[in-house]
């Protein structure tokens, strides 16, 4: 599981005040945006949890091709990914709350 975020290489540009930006589904736009990076990380955590669940099911069905050690490592990776995701979510909520409580 690779949760590293790739750095944004495109320069930041400013938008005129009042200009609305439409959210597009193009992969090039989402790869360089914060939303794309966050979405990719969430998909990686979800995939890790799915893999761990599948391995756990195979161990319970006594599949000889799946080892208990492999399953435990996958479960730990998914738990660490979920904890990291939860911490990011909590920090984002706290930042939003701090911004909303600022006096202008």
pLDDT value of position 100: 94
Q: What is the DSSP letter of 53?
A: H
Mean pLDDT of 56-83: 93
pTM, 2 dp = 0.62
Mean pLDDT of 64-86: 93
What is the distance between the alpha carbons of residues 54 and 92, in angstroms, rounded to a whole number? 31
What is the distance between the alpha carbons of residues 82 and 8, in angstroms, rounded to a whole number? 24
For residues 17 and 64, the model is more confident at: 64
Crossing angle for the helix pair 68-100 and 34-60, to the nearest 10 degrees: 150
Q: What is the DSSP letter of 66?
A: S
Mean pLDDT of 50-68: 92
Q: What is the DSSP letter of 10?
A: S
The domain ranges of the chain are 28-100
């Amino acid at each position: 599981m690779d949760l590293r975020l790739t750095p944004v290489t495109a320069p930041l540009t400013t938008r005129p005040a009042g200009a609305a930006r439409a959210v597009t589904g193009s992969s090039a736009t989402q790869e360089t945006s914060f939303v794309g990076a966050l979405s990719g990380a969430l998909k990686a955590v979800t995939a890790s949890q799915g893999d761990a669940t599948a391995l756990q099911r195979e161990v319970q069905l006594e599949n000889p091709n799946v080892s208990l050690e492999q399953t435990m490592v996958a479960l730990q990776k998914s738990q660490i990914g979920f904890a990291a995701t939860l911490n990011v979510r909590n920090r984002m909520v706290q930042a939003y709350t701090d911004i909303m409580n600022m006096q202008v």
